Chains A and B, each alone.
Chain A
């Protein structure tokens, strides 16, 4: 048990996390590609035409995973930011900073695909509905987090300011999730929930879950790639960075 705790703290330092991330990235890319191919096959070939929405419903296979990831990444980002605020660990702020752009892209994609789904089905690209509005606020929270950190020169102070913003914004995530229950919205309720059986055909459900896994693996791979860049930027003055083979000029 004590051994595991020691290992955990070992990887909490940028110096040991950097090579670990480098080893993990290709595996996450491989999984992302496998799940994407399988997910797209189900999306376009295995899943049947919907009896109400025809072929238009196929947007669900990216809309729902993007929306899930936008909320999940926010919670993870705020978690890292909070950890950094509480324990003052160097890696935490870097992780939060690495996750923000990916989360912002997921939030944007959930809005974009939602608009492209809403137009043919509801007749409007956008409505000021509780679900859509709270999802838009999530997107702005990501943008605000990125802008705030970019505006502060000292990285440690930027981490602290960003962490407070991220933690305050967490309140929005349950609002998004429960918005379809709390308010009378145009957006449909959850098709998949933890408490009751899914209200959709098995093929569609599997397609959505596999696409969600693909988005998940993608997000991990790209966030790890970005955190490696951030580690190098922030630790540029340290001996271990100067001693890295890639800085010594061995490869790329």
Chain B
């Protein structure tokens, strides 16, 4: 085991800012990107469903 305490883990031997600054931004982007991608699909599905309902209400 590398770390004597949780504090030592977060300090990263003095490189805490750099290590967590890298991993943190990486984690945020890799959580946000899939959320946005699946939201994009949900949005288009919602508008497709609305279109379908509109067609049913107003058949030509």
Contact = CB atoms under 8 A, between A and B. Distances in A.
Nearest to B40: A229
B15 A66 contact: no
**Size category, B interface:** 20 to 34
Contact of B26 (A102, A113, A120, A222): A113
A119 B42 CA distance: 41
A236 interface: yes
Contacts of A218: 30
Nearest to A249: B49
A225 B38 contact: yes
Interface string B34-49: 1001101111110011
Most interface-central of A55, A105, A109, A112 (chain B CB within 10 A): A55
B15 A54 contact: yes
A102 B33 contact: yes
A236 B2 contact: no
Contacts of B9: 44
A246 B42 CA distance: 10
Contacts of B7: none
B37 A222 contact: yes
B13 A225 contact: no
A16 interface: no
Contacts of B43: 229
A229 B37 contact: yes
A229 B21 CA distance: 32
A226 B37 CA distance: 5
Nearest to A32: B30
Contact of A116 (B18, B38, B42): B18
Given A226-B40, A252-B42, A59 B1 contact: no
Interface string A230-252: 00110010000110001111001
Contacts of B33: 101-102, 105, 222
A192 B45 CA distance: 44
A117 B48 contact: no
Given A55-B12, A102-B33, A226-B37, A247 B19 contact: no
A225 B26 contact: no
A56 interface: yes
B60 interface: no
Interface in A96-144: 101-102, 105, 108-109, 112-113, 116-117, 119-120
Nearest to B19: A58
B31 to A, nearest CB: 11
A45 B4 CA distance: 11
B44 A229 contact: yes
Contacts of B22: 59, 62-63, 112-113, 116-117
3 cross-chain pairs, A with B, having the tightest CB-CB distances, nearest first: A56-B15, A55-B13, A229-B41
